[in-house]
Structure 1
Amino acid sequence: MARQNTLFKEAYNRCLSDIEEQENLPSEPELGEKYGISRTTVRAILGRMRDSGLIEWDKRNKIVLRPPKDEDYFPAEETNSLNEIIERAFMKRILTGEASPGAQISEAEIAREVGAGTTSVREFLIRFSRFGLIEKRPNSHWVLKGFTLNFALELSEVREMFEFKSAAAFARLPPEHPAWAELDAIEDEHHDLLADIENRFLDFSALDERFHLLVHRASGNRFVIDFHDVIAFIFHYHYQWNKTHARARNERALREHLDYIAALRSRDPARIDAACRIHLASARETLIASVPH
């Protein structure tokens, strides 16, 4: 229900943004297709808009009565993108033991679970299938091939190759490059998180993803940046779902990040290589430990 509520809020905000320049809203099927949501979610959105005095809704007629105000929107922290919601539901099945190798994954089940349209779920699964964890079968079903030890080792190996290249490129960026300012901001967030690590250690995964994406972008290589998707996807969700020693593990990773950041600022290739190697070894160890042997 919580996931459906998040998707509802995200779609509601998007719909509000669109009605500012409209006099009438399209049909329910058209709204569902546009926002990638189910008919039930469309009706819930229309009901809230009617109750808020935004529209007049009488069967097929949906007349816009007034433009939305700031207070009509749900706060950003209460929403996630549709892709993030589908992603979370899918990875939960893989990483919490709900699905084992050979298990079928149904587009309709995931769509029903999160309140999304099956087309949105199918598009996500097609995009994700290139990583080799799932395989398409007839009748809108997919088969889970399994997150194996070999997959984890191969993923770590490729990640390390890309990260070393990207870190070296980051150190060569000119002083005025905006990436250095972004690095400053991310470093500040690391210190803030460490200061309240007891209560906020689960916030690490999102910060980890942002930091490594910043490094990978310095490569200027579209394939490295694109591959960051699968790296962040797998490592992020293992941080989230593998709770064993999570606080200590995340605190160690935060401190390794700070050493890594200091090394990047030094622009010393040997220091960068050493800091990067230590952190990636820890990440590999964490990932492998979470794979069923």
Structure 2
Amino acid sequence: MKGNAVFKRSYNQCLRQLAGQAIGASLPSESELAQSLEVSRTTVRSVFASLIDAGIVTVAAGGRRLVRHPGEADYFPDLQTLSAGAAVARRFMEWILQGDFRAGQLLNAAELARQFGTSTTTIREHLAQFQHVGLLERRPNSSWLYKGVTPAFATEIYDVREMFELRSTRSFIELPDDSPPWRELDVIEAEHRALLANIDEDYRTFPQLDERLHRVIHETSNNRFIIDFYDVISTLFHYTYRWNRSDEKQRNTVALLEHLDYIEALRSRDPRAIDARCRKHLRTARATLARSIEFGPFRSPSSPAGVSA
């Protein structure tokens, strides 16, 4: 399970790199790609074999070459690229935010383990993650109190997110230009521009792109507390945003443009510019979350839908 997720995650990452290359471009060597993807050469050989089987890459006298750009159908679904534990955490978050749960209700670890087909130990580990950010509270007899996503909760968690992300940008801009995170940023920027060009049809694909940009920044911190924090909040925020889709295309367009400004600031390596554009984007994201919470998953049809952007 773990190895399969690693392969699928590496395959998707390689596809994203190839999406920005010209047709006919040579692929890097096994060792170069293994270093870029931070996986073993065995995994890279499996990735190359699958690219060839899919008709994306061909083997010629001069080595491996790109013969077509990957399409959406070539990628593995995001859930399949996660580790077993991360997949459980994401499924749990989707279930609790899209289900009939309200603040004050109790969850039972043993029942959740049966529902998700995993061990109670795994469930408890991930419930503890949500406890650390204040979403759950542990109670006696293996039960957990769901405290709900409230405006006060959103304010507190965004204060921490801003602090962690600004710290991570300092690590990012210290990396050399040819490091994997900068190459990944090139691909992410190209995908932002492609999405903007097709925003009317593809605006709902933005959350995956949003997560990749912020994750590549957070992971350069090499700080497990920052990285673990982002694993939880990215899942939480993206499911909460779904509570209000009345202005989804508009807000995703705004976020895309703010991302491009943020990326430009990162390229400048100017801490002041980075600080200003990061804070501006996170203020917008905070407001989006607040509107989604106001809309809420349990709002009656006659209730107000919240403030438009």
TM-score with structure 1 setting the length: 0.66
CA distance 1:146–1:192, shift in 2 (3 Å): same
- Measured against aligned partners, the alpha-carbon deviations of 1:188-238 in whole angstroms (never above 9, x if no partner) come to 221222233223222221221111111122334333223222331322222
Q: Give the 3-state SS of the residue equivalent to 1:101 in structure 2.
A: coil
The within-5 A match list for 1:105-254 is: 105-254=107-256
- Residue in 1 that maps onto 2:284: 282
What is the deviation of 1:93? 4.5
Q: Give the 3-state SS of the residue equivalent to 1:291 in structure 2.
A: helix
Distance in 1 (alpha carbons) for counterparts of 2:238 and 2:77: 19
Distance in 2 (alpha carbons) for counterparts of 1:92 and 1:226: 18
In the alignment of these two chains, the number of paired residues is 227
1:258 to 251, 256, 260: 260
Distance in 2 (alpha carbons) for counterparts of 1:89 and 1:228: 16
- Residue in 1 that maps onto 2:77: 77
- Measured against aligned partners, the alpha-carbon deviations of 1:102-161 in whole angstroms (never above 9, x if no partner) come to 101233554454444544433322333222211223343221122221111011111111
Higher CA-based Rg: 1
Q: Give the 3-state SS of the residue equivalent to 1:105 in structure 2.
A: strand
2:103 to 92, 101, 104: 101
The answer (yes or no) to whether the contact 1:260–1:272 under 8 Å persists in 2 is yes
Distance in 2 (alpha carbons) for counterparts of 1:221 and 1:147: 26
Distance in 2 (alpha carbons) for counterparts of 1:103 and 1:243: 26
Percentage of pairs with the same residue? 48
The answer (yes or no) to whether the contact 1:206–1:236 under 8 Å persists in 2 is no
Question: Any gaps of 5 or more consecutive residues in structure 2?
Answer: 6-49, 54-74, 296-309
The code of the aligned residue for 1:254 comes to L
The code of the aligned residue for 1:225 comes to I
The answer (yes or no) to whether the contact 1:260–1:275 under 8 Å persists in 2 is yes
The code of the aligned residue for 2:283 comes to A
CA distance 1:266–1:256, shift in 2 (3 Å): same
Moved more, 248-257 or 139-148: 139-148
TM-score with structure 2 setting the length: 0.63
The answer (yes or no) to whether the contact 2:133–2:157 under 8 Å persists in 1 is no
